Chain A
Amino acid sequence: DTAVSQTPKYLVTQMGNDKSIKCEQNLGHDTMYWYKQDSKKFLKIMFSYNNKELIINETVPNRFSPKSPDKAHLNLHINSLELGDSAVYFCASSRGLLEQYFGPGTRLTVT
């Protein structure tokens, strides 16, 4: 009964490739998020969707494109991967503004 799930859990790829990470929540929440956590544990919001509508778009390279096919899913596609994209990417969801439930993370390594 995983509340927020992400696939894949680990992703190792070469520079220049395009990859996608998928996220699904079964909590019935209206808002979903993508965060990036670097090697120093700093957690930074990238995007937020509310009812499939983009509401937060932080300063993120346009190589990163989120897509929300429905309220329960938020995917992240990354084009032309770079070494600096290596990080753990977390998906989260919330009903209100505060109580965010995080997924287990996708550990992306770009070589």
Chain B
Amino acid sequence: QKEVEQDPGPLSVPEGAIVSLNCTYSNSAFQYFMWYRQYSRKGPELLMYTYSSGNKEDGRFTAQVDKSSKYISLFIRDSQPSDSATYLCAMSAGNAGKSTFGDGTTLTVKP
């Protein structure tokens, strides 16, 4: 069993929709939770990171962590065609920068 499981997708939504991207994990040592966005043929870029449980908002993006359920989510409000990309969750126990990534969910936002 993988340490990090991510909803596989692909996901296709109309412009303006609210998008929910989700990951579950099995390693209780994970304390830091990240979301990366990767456009086609580009490197991943860090969108947000959170520490421990709770919500964090940045513009149209909200990251949510529920450590008791070992479940994290990224919500995108008012989705735009420019949000079309693969979204990768990543988690770390804080040891030497090692992050474990999910497999990614490919999102397409249609105009």
Contact B34 A98 (CB under 8 A): yes
Q: In the complex, how many angstroms separate the beta carbon of B106 from the nearest chain A beta carbon? A: 8
Give the interface SS of chain A, mostly helix, strand, loop or mixed: strand
B residues apposed to A, CB below 8 Å? 32, 34, 38, 41-46, 49, 86, 88, 92, 94, 96-99, 101, 103-104, 106
| Chain A residues with CB below 8 A from B45, complex form | 101-102
Q: Does A100 contact B (CB under 8 A)?
A: yes
- Complex formed: what's the CA distance from A48 to B98 in Å? 8
Per the CB 8 Å criterion, the residue count for chain A at the interface is 26
Q: Which residue of A lies closest to B101 (CB)?
A: A43
Known pairs A41-B103, A42-B104, A104-B43. 6 more at Cβ < 8 A?
A43-B44, A43-B104, A56-B98, A98-B34, A103-B43, A105-B42
B34 to chain A: which residues have CB within 8 Å? 98
